[in-house]
Amino acid sequence: MENLSEKRAQNLLRKYLRGQCTGPEKAIVEEWYLSLQSEEEVIDEDVFLENLVELNKRLHEITVSQKVRRLKYISVAAAVLLFFLGVNLLWKKEDFSEHEKTITVPAGNIPPGSNKAILSVDGIENMELSGSQEALVSNDSSLEYEDGTLVKNLDKARFITLTTPAAGQYRAVLPDGTKVWLNALSSIKYPAVFDKKRRIVEVTGEVYFEVKNNPDKTFIVHANHQEIEVLGTSFNIHEYEDESQGYTSLIEGSLKVTNENAKNVILTPGQQAVVSKENVIEVKNVDVEEVSAWKDGLYILQDARLDKFVKNIERWYDVQIDMGEHGNKRLSAIIPRDAKLSDVLKTIALKTKIQFKMKGRRLKVIN
């Protein structure tokens, strides 16, 4: 990995942490890790554990420059060690340094969200889907789980609605083969059979799409304050009623985003349309991997405002958090979505020195 560009090195490490590397990519990372251990300076496990606190901040500073060889060594070796030993190892030591000894976290050990969703057909029946399954597949005349298990015969059904609760997520395959991922407190409504000219769905919350390409059938998504029109592409919609703006981020392909005033913008990959409730629409460049990482089981944060990130925590862990005057503080971190809430709070505490007090499922900053 000595000759990799900074961006490719970061992407490769992220893939390794997710377990998504190909054989050759995995070999590159592990060979580099082993070569680092052969350096003259030997670092034992305790030192690695201390450096894990700095993992995510340093990860974004990877470079091939020899002048910062030590910095690269800390960040990358810690990242690989974290993958091998597990996230919980980060909390094995309680006193990484003098100033960190004062950090406290709540005793509650709330688990992360899981596969949960409610199915409604034509708005007259609510059915809780199996948490042991991950996806609902729409066929011509039935709904099934991915393994082929029948969920419901559709007969003359017109519309299907899939809704996730707090601390829930689910996937679905629409009648045309389009794949969708629903984050917590989100929903999608779609017809049992798409019409001949258009494929129209309605969403709330956060939904990631991989639209099946069909030039003869435009795919249209209606959200609260925007409409997205695509032919075949991958994109992420984030629009919750309790937030002042909606975000549509394009990963692949192209799409048109239109607000309620009929003003529209055309996005190219790597761009995000920001639509306010006041019907202002603007376009900015984003790291689409950060935006869509949630569907792959990660939160990737680069200098993110805490008040925005804690909204994700509230939905995913079904808690309420009062940040007080600390919402404008910023955080850079890579946090697995399967981590317990206590581990997430420790990450925030270690990096921002914020301390939390917890009562039931309510948290409040106490410093």
Alpha helices in 1-116 (DSSP H): 6-18, 23-37, 45-52, 55-59, 69-85
> By the 8 A CB rule, do 143 and 161 touch?
no
The CATH 3.55.50.30 portion of the chain extends over: 295-365
Report helix, strand or coil for 196. coil
Domain with CATH 2.60.120.1440 in the chain: 114-291
Instruction: Dump pLDDT digits (tens) for 309-351.
Output: 999 999 999 999 999 999 999 988 878 888 889 888 888 888 8
Could you tell me if 164 and 116 are in contact, meaning their C-beta atoms sit under 8 angstroms apart?
yes
Q: Which residue has the higher pLDDT, 169 or 139?
A: 169
pLDDT at 155: 87
| pLDDT of 144 | 97
**What class is the 295-365 domain?**
alpha beta
Q: How would residue 56 be classed by pLDDT, with cut points 50, 70 and 90?
A: very low
Percentage of residues in the chain having pLDDT higher than 90: 52
Q: Between β-strands 126-128 and 168-173, what pairing exists: parallel, antiparallel or unpaired?
A: unpaired
**pLDDT (0 to 100) of residue 108:** 57
Coil/strand/helix, residue 213: coil
Per the CB < 8 A criterion, the answer to whether 64 and 4 are in contact is yes
pLDDT at 328: 93
pLDDT of 60 strictly over 50: no
165-177 average pLDDT score: 97
Structure tokens given for 51: 């450096």
The predicted pLDDT at position 95 comes to 35
DSSP string of 159-172, one letter each residue:
EEEEE--TTEEEEE
Question: The tokens of 114 are what?
Answer: 């899981």
* CB contact set of 72 (below 8 Å; sequence gap of 6+): 62, 63, 64
User: In the prediction, which pLDDT does 9 show?
Assistant: 67
Overall average pLDDT of the 295-319 stretch:
92
**Percent of residues, the chain, with pLDDT higher than 70:** 73
pLDDT band at 92 (very low <50, low <70, confident <90, very high): very low
> Domain 114-291, what fold?
Jelly Rolls (2.60.120)
Compare 188 and 65 and report the one with higher pLDDT: 188
Q: Return the amino acid letter for 205.
A: G
**Could you read off the pLDDT of 107-117 as tens digits, one per residue?**
457 999 999 99
Q: Which residues is 229 bridged to in the sheet?
A: 220, 256
Q: Is 81 left (phi over 0), alpha (psi -120 to 50) or beta?
A: alpha
Rounded CA separation 354/171 (Å): 35
Q: What is the mean pLDDT of the chain?
A: 80
Mean pLDDT of 152-164: 93
